[in-house]
């Protein structure tokens, strides 16, 4: 049967009600030159905005007797940032395709009768029993079953981690209802979000899909670990109960990404760099390695080397995935405020291996360069962080390790990379930063790794919160511990020299980034760790717990003599 429809009818159902709906059906059926023996059913489903149009002139193709093709397009509202990079620009809202989503067809009992995925244009298609009452559901889920697989879902941490879905109306599947386009609206009415923020979960997923596609294009053929992205309109900047939305800020932990959604304060669903920054941390864990201890950070901070690498990578990653160096984060009343940062910037106020601004600048400028490589090819970076040499390096993850691995695998590319390092006051050296002379203004931060040998001369290191507590430069100090033979060893730290107050040293021992053991005792000014070790090289981390946990207003510096002993 081929039909051509020339009538155009558009009715807001909410205004005209069910009678108008039936009238619409009748008009369309008449236009089709007859109708069906099966009466068009009433649509009793509450739908926020449902309209019927018959602008299409394409043909209907029933696959077989009693079966009809039902198809449509899924879209969502995307809100870009203002041209000056600060705040969201609602007047520039645009429709984007809901790509790669799980689309379900549900019957009147809410049973799933068919499942498919939307394509890159947001299109989907089902074959369904003619006249069957069905509704289309777009799940906030990216599911890919061919290799490499992925499963990314947007859930609500304030509602038992339930999955967001967008539902169409329950309507009989006939020729007149064969095309069902679903749109996720932002809910913005000009002065605020007065309607459900349906678009938010789909905007988040689309950012993730940009990243996933680019990582696959970069050569990744490993399956992506499943990930939940937890977003809620109640997710606010208070540190407290996650189930109440008190998430503090958008962050990644090993189980999920939490995303702010608190209108007029801080929302991140349209901040693509923020989403991809956090997803970059997920990527590190999934396909690379990060030894970062996390925590708050900013471009002009002087950070723990592990944190500087991870945050600099995540910032650069977001810019690389979007091919947009302007990292933007909107917040404030009507989401009209916020800040931006040019990831490619080279003249950063703080430059060095401890600066996320330096790390992001080096990585991003390497990405866009064509010096010995194809420009804007993420494969050049992914192949390094995904390599065994990087992921199983003895040294803690840092820009030095990245550079060292790059030099080993591609000297042509390394030449330009070295130039970028020098621009950021980072020495060209090995993974352990031997010979690095940039101390960040504190001589005790060098060397990055002191050598600790069994029954050797005790090594003096100092832990300080001079640059801030927890994850800032020189809170943690690292020692390379060479174990000649398998045996039981003891590592001892004893405070040395004058210092304010009672120190609380803690010791951690790593093998290739894996924490093997630690000592966090309460003894004053001293700590020891005894354990059995195989021959090899380990990293010992020493921290004064006061420098780690005291707030920034109380400056702590404590120095320790660290020695290693053979027990038996």
Partner 1 sequence: MLNTFFVRGIKIFFAGVMLSGLHACESRPDPAATVVPSTEVVSEAKAGSDTDSPAKNGELAHEKKLHSKPGAAVSLKNSQPLYAAAPGIYEYELQLLSSSQSGKMAVVASIDDGVTIISPKQEFEFVLQEGGEYLLPLTLNISAEGRHYIQLHVSIAAGEQISTRVIAAILQVGEPAVKKAQKTSPETSAEGEEAVISLPAQETISPR
Q: Which of residues 268-327 bind partner 1 (CB under 8 A)?
A: 268, 274, 277-278, 281, 285, 289-301, 310-311, 314-315, 327
Asked if 226 is part of the footprint of partner 1 (rule: CB under 8 A), the reply reads no
End-to-end CA distance of the chain: 89
Which residue's CB is nearer to partner 1, number 280 or number 447? 280
Say if residues 221 and 287 touch (Cβ distance below 8 Å).
no
Site for partner 1 in 88-107 (CB under 8 A): 106
> Would you count residue 565 as binding partner 1 (CB under 8 A)?
no
Q: Binding string to partner 1 for residues 193 to 222, with x set by CB under 8 A, is what?
A: ---x-x--x---------------------
Residues sharing a CB contact under 8 Å with residue 168, sequence separation 6 or more, in sequence order? 47, 135, 136, 137, 180, 182
- Phi, psi dihedral angles at 211 (to 5 degrees): -65, -45
Q: Are strands 476-483 and 536-544 parallel, antiparallel or unpaired?
A: antiparallel
Answer whether 556's CB lies under 8 Å from 478's CB. Answer: no
Please choose, from the candidates 277, 226, 255, the residue with its C-alpha nearest in 3D space to the C-alpha of residue 157. Answer: 255
Specify whether the CB–CB gap between 272 and 88 falls below 8 A.
no
C-alpha span between 227 and 225 (Å, rounded)? 6
**Contact call for residues 364 and 317 (beta carbons, < 8 A):** no
134 versus 403: smaller Cβ distance to partner 1: 134
> Considering the complex, what minimum distance in angstroms separates the CB of residue 260 from partner 1?
8
Environment class of 353 (CB within 10 Å of its CB; exposed 0-12, middle 13-18, buried 19+): buried
Using CB under 8 A as the binding criterion, the count of chain residues that bind partner 1 stands at 158
Q: Which stretch, 116-124, 363-371, 377-385, 467-475, contacts partner 1 (CB under 8 A)?
A: 467-475
Among 37, 64, 83, 111, binds partner 1 (CB under 8 A): 111
**Smallest distance, partner 1 to C-beta of residue 428, A:** 25
Residues 513-552 that bind partner 1 (CB under 8 A): 513-523, 526-534, 536, 538, 541, 543, 545, 548-549, 551-552
17 contributes a contact to partner 1 by CB under 8 A: no
Options 142-150, 232-240, 432-440, 445-453: segment touching partner 1 (CB under 8 A): 232-240
Selected binder of partner 1 within 102, 128, 133, 184 (CB under 8 A): 184
State which of positions 160-179 bind partner 1 (CB under 8 A).
Answer: 160, 162-169, 171, 175-179
What's the Cα-to-Cα distance from 152 to each of 49, 54, 120, 228, 381, rounded to whole Å? 28, 35, 16, 6, 23
Secondary structure class of 70 (helix, strand, coil) = strand
Residues numbered 393-432 forming contacts with partner 1, rule: CB under 8 A: none
Q: Work out how close the CB of 335 gets to partner 1 at its nearest, in angstroms, rounded to a whole number.
A: 11
């Amino acid at each position: 049967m081929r039909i051509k429809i020339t009538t155009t009818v558009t009715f807001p159902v909410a205004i005209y009600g069910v009678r108008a709906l039936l009238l619409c059906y009748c008009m369309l059926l008449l236009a089709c030159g007859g109708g069906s023996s099966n009466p068009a059913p009433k649509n009793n489903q509450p739908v926020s905005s449902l309209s019927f149009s018959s602008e299409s002139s394409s043909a209907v193709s029933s696959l077989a007797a009693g079966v009809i093709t039902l198809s449509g397009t899924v879209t969502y509202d995307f809100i870009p940032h203002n041209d000056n990079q600060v705040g969201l620009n609602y007047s520039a809202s645009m429709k984007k395709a809901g790509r790669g989503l799980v689309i379900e067809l549900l019957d009147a009992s809410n049973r799933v009768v068919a499942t498919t995925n939307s394509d890159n244009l947001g299109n989907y298609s089902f074959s369904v029993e003619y006249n069957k009452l069905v509704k289309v559901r777009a799940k906030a889920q990216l599911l890919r079953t061919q290799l490499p697989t992925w499963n990314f879902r947007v859930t609500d941490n304030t509602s038992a981690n339930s999955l967001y879905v967008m539902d169409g109306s329950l309507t009989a599947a006939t020729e007149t209802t064969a095309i069902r386009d679903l749109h996720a609206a932002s809910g913005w009415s000009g002065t605020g979000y007065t309607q459900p923020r349906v678009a938010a979960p789909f905007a988040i997923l689309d950012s993730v899909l940009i990243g996933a596609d680019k990582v696959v294009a970069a050569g990744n053929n490993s399956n992506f670990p499943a990930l939940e992205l937890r977003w809620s309109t109640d997710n606010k900047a208070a540190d407290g109960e996650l189930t109440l939305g008190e998430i503090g800020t958008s962050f990644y932990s090993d189980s999920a990404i939490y995303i702010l959604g608190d209108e007029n304060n801080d929302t991140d669903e349209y901040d693509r760099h923020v989403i991809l920054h956090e997803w970059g941390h997920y990527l590190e864990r999934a396909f690379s390695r990060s030894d970062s201890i996390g925590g708050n950070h900013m471009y002009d901070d002087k950070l723990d080397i592990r944190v500087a690498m991870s945050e600099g990578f995540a910032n650069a990653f977001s810019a690389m995935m979007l091919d947009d160096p302007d990292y933007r984060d909107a917040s404030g009343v009507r989401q009209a405020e916020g800040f931006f940062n040019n990831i490619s910037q080279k003249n950063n106020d703080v430059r060095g291996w401890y600066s996320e601004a330096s790390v992001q600048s080096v990585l991003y400028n390497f990405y866009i360069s064509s010096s010995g490589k194809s420009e804007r090819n993420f494969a050049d970076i992914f192949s390094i962080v995904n390599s065994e040499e990087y992921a199983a390096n003895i040294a803690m993850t840092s820009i030095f390790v990245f550079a060292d691995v790059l030099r080993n695998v591609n000297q042509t590319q390394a030449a330009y990379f070295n130039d970028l390092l020098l621009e950021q006051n980072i020495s060209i050296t090995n993974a352990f930063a031997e010979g690095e002379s940039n101390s960040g203004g504190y001589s005790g931060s060098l060397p990055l790794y002191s050598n600790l040998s069994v029954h050797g001369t005790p090594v003096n290191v100092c832990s300080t919160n001079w640059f801030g507590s927890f994850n800032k430069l020189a809170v943690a100090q690292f020692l390379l511990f060479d174990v000649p033979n398998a045996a039981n060893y003891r590592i001892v730290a004893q405070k040395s020299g004058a210092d304010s107050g009672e120190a609380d040293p803690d010791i951690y021992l790593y093998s290739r980034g894996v924490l093997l053991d630690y000592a966090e005792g309460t003894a004053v000014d001293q700590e020891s760790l005894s354990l059995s070790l195989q021959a090899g090289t380990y990293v010992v981390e020493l921290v004064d717990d006061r420098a780690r946990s005291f707030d920034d207003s109380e400056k702590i510096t404590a120095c320790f003599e660290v020695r290693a002993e053979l027990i038996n």
